[in-house]
């Protein structure tokens, strides 16, 4: 109950900040432009995919870190009330997660609806794209909370958050490729499979490419995924791994929040 | 029974022992000032009682309830933090409404400070546009909102103009006279002398002394609390 009350006011606060509005407008203009430049629904989805996989983690992790640092004194105020720490944590998380989710889903969904986008392929691919985007939003917001709760120094925290983003979007894949190259004489497929479960961005990419059924763009991990699991099971595994990603950073953040000195 | 009972409380940040096996009782219906040099552990002590800081060891009870994971004991507590910062885009009125929502106190609320501090116009502006003094005033309103039996005021008048500061001090005295317990920290000794009944002096995370303001001044032969405390501390060091 208290979590909902806190979330309501935090949502109001976040909605009034320009960041979230700009974020929503960004997706709105981008999706609309992709349609106008002659895209069919499927092609728009594909172009959007890379933006979703790169921009969403960046925005969620940076805004999440700044948001939690900015809520420090507010947190003290609320914790001096008869409110459990768990309720406050949930309220803070929902207060950021809901506006970001809403901005992304509306910003992307409205143009699709307006242009009658998915006439041919059905709405499932779009739903998957939106779902992946929301999952990445919440995952990277949790990671941001975890970072902000672990470091008192705001600049360090923000730097670390950016580092996490660079790692998952760029460094991770480079490392996997390097590993495959160096170990090309050995059967490394299973290892690569296990590794890709450790990267939510990679999981998002695999999930979307399996459902769009575009092998050419799948990359090594995606191809291994499909060969190993087949498309259907592969999607199931990717979704399950994303769910684990949704739970673990959040739970770690909550644990830290419960023990923290404010 | 004392309002606050603290038994062998210890807290360290890394290598720094902020509170060192500290025991303390705060009497009901009094105004107690917690004093001490910077870094003596004043804020940490107050935050431990509020449950904001998790101590390593020791036991705190507030009005008989043990401070732990159950937040209910805080229903009777009002807190005015040293720095007042709230969600930037919300107005003072929205913050007050939110705290009311969270508390859901049935006994009604006390918004008289809003008029006394002349804040009506300020309450409708978003927080980011408020000056430091006005933010501090919102904090004061929030602390007194629910007729709390126990009030923690961390540097309550810092940043306030003389008029607002006087209003707040009158209010503190009125609450004490109505039987409420008040714990405050301050660097202005004249203010402590005006408001406090008892002084608790912290040094290196321990209680250096705890004494009534009257005895402190009377026993020292000095005219002011500031002089009396200075003499008391140097005397200890020499001895």
In the three-class reduction of DSSP (H, G, I as helix; E, B as strand; rest coil), residue B83 is classed as coil
The per-residue pLDDT for B81 is 87
pLDDT band at B12 (very low <50, low <70, confident <90, very high): very high
Total tally of structural domains belonging to chain A:
1
Q: What is the mean pLDDT of residues B188-202?
A: 93
- Mean per-residue pLDDT, A11-35: 91
pLDDT tens-place string over residues A106-156: 999 999 888 876 666 677 888 999 999 999 999 999 999 999 999 989 999
Task: Share the mean pLDDT of chain A.
Answer: 89
Would the pTM count as exceeding 0.95? no
Question: Among A184-188, B20-24, B191-195, where is mean pLDDT lowest?
Answer: A184-188
Residue numbers of A between 17 and 36 with CB closer than 8 Å to B? 17
Q: What is the pLDDT of residue A231?
A: 72
Pick among B102, B109, B130 to test the A interface (most A CBs inside 10 A): B102
Largest Cα–Cα distance in chain B?
57
Tell me what the mean pLDDT of segment B25-47 comes to: 92
Strands B198-203, B77-80: pairing is: unpaired
SS3 letters across A106-153:
HHHHHHHHHCCCCCCCCCHHHHHHHHHHHHHHHHHHHHHHHHHHHCCC
Question: Which chain B residues touch A84 with a CB distance below 8 Å?
Answer: 69, 71
- A259 interaction partners in chain B (CB closer than 8 Å): 54
**Which of A202-211, B133-142, B183-192 is the least confident region?**
A202-211
Please determine, for residue B239, whether its predicted confidence score (pLDDT) is greater than 60.
Answer: no
Average pLDDT on B186-209 reads 92
Does A46 score more than 90 pLDDT? no
pLDDT at A246: 97
Instruction: Decide if A113 touches B, using CB distance below 8 A.
Output: no
Q: Summarize pLDDT for A222-245 with one digit per residue, the tens.
A: 777 777 777 778 888 889 999 999
Are the Cβ atoms of B53 and A259 closer than 8 angstroms? no
Domain span at A172: 2-259
- CATH of B4-238, picked from 3.40.640.10, 3.30.420.40, 1.20.1630.10, 3.40.50.300, is 3.40.50.300
Whether the CB-CB separation of B65 and B232 falls below 8 Å is answered with: no
Euclidean distance between CA atoms A123 and A146, whole angstroms:
35
Rounded to 10 degrees, what is the CA torsion of B46, B51, B55, B61?
Answer: 80
Of B79, B94, B126, the CB nearest to A80: B79
Q: Tell me: the pLDDT tens digits for A98-116?
A: 999 999 999 999 998 888 7
Q: Which two tokens stand for residue A78?
A: 């609320």
Q: Report the relative pairing of strands B16-26 and B150-154 from DSSP bridges.
A: unpaired
Min distance B172 CA to chain A CA atoms (Å): 19
ipTM of the complex as predicted? 0.86
Q: How confident is the model at residue B106 (pLDDT cuts 50, 70, 90)?
A: low
Reduced to 3 states (helix: H, G, I; strand: E, B; else coil), residue B30 is coil
Look at residue B211 in the predicted model and tell me its pLDDT: 92
Cα gap A56→A34, rounded to integer Å: 18
Average pLDDT for A166-180 = 88
- pLDDT tens for B201-232 read 999 899 999 999 999 998 888 889 999 998 88
Contact A5 B101 (CB under 8 A): yes
Burial of B233 (0-12, 13-18, 19+ CB in 10 A): middle
Q: 3-class SS at A29? A: helix
Question: What average pLDDT is seen over chain B?
Answer: 90
């Amino acid at each position: 109950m208290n979590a909902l009350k806190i979330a309501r006011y935090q949502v109001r606060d976040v909605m009034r900040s320009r960041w979230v509005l700009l974020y929503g407008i960004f997706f709105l203009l981008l999706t609309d432009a992709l349609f106008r430049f002659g895209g069919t629904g499927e092609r728009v989805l594909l172009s959007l995919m890379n933006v979703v996989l790169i921009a969403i983690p960046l925005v969620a992790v940076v805004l999440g870190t700044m948001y939690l640092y900015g809520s420090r004194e507010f947190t003290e105020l609320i914790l001096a009330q008869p409110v459990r720490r768990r309720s406050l944590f949930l309220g803070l998380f929902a207060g950021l997660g809901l506006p970001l989710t809403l901005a992304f889903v509306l910003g992307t969904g409205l143009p699709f609806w307006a242009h009658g986008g998915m006439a041919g392929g059905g709405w499932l691919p779009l739903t998957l794209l939106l779902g992946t985007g929301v999952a990445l939003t919440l995952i990277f917001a949790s990671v941001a909370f975890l970072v902000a709760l672990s470091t008192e120094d705001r600049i360090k925290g923000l730097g670390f958050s950016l580092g996490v983003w660079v790692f998952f979007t760029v460094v991770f894949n480079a490392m996997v490729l390097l590993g495959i190259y160096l170990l090309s004489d050995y059967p490394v497929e299973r290892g690569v499979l296990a590794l890709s479960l450790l990267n939510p961005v990679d999981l998002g990419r695999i999930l979307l490419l399996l459902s769009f059924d575009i092998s050419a763009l799948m990359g090594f991990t995606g191809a291994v995924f499909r060969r190993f699991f087949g498309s259907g099971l592969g999607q199931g595994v990717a979704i399950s791994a994303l769910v684990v990603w949704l739970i673990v950073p959040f739970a770690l953040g909550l644990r830290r929040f419960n023990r923290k000195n404010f | 029974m004392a309002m606050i009972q603290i038994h062998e409380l210890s807290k360290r940040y890394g290598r720094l022992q902020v509170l060192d096996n500290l025991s303390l009782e705060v009497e009901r219906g009094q105004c107690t000032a917690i004093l001490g040099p910077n870094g003596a552990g004043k804020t940490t002590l107050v935050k431990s009682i509020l449950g904001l800081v998790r101590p390593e060891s020791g036991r705190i009870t507030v009005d008989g309830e043990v401070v732990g994971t159950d937040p209910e004991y805080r229903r009777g507590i009002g807190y005015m933090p040293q720095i007042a910062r709230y969600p930037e885009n919300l107005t003072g009125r929205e913050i007050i409404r939110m705290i009311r929502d969270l508390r859901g106190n049935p006994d009604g609320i006390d918004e008289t400070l809003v008029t006394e501090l002349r804040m009506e116009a300020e309450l409708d502006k978003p927080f980011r546009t408020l000056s430091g003094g006005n933010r501090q005033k919102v904090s004061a309103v929030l602390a007194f909102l629910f007729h709390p039996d126990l009030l923690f005021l961390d540097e309550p008048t810092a940043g306030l103009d003389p008029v607002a500061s006087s209003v707040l001090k009158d209010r503190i005295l009125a609450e004490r006279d109505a039987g409420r317990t008040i714990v405050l920290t301050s660097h202005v000794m004249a203010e402590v002398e005006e408001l406090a009944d008892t002084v608790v002096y912290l040094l290196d995370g321990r209680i250096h002394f705890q004494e009534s303001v009257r005895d402190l001044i009377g026993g020292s032969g000095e005219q002011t609390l500031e002089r009396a405390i200075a003499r008391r501390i140097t005397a200890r060091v020499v001895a």
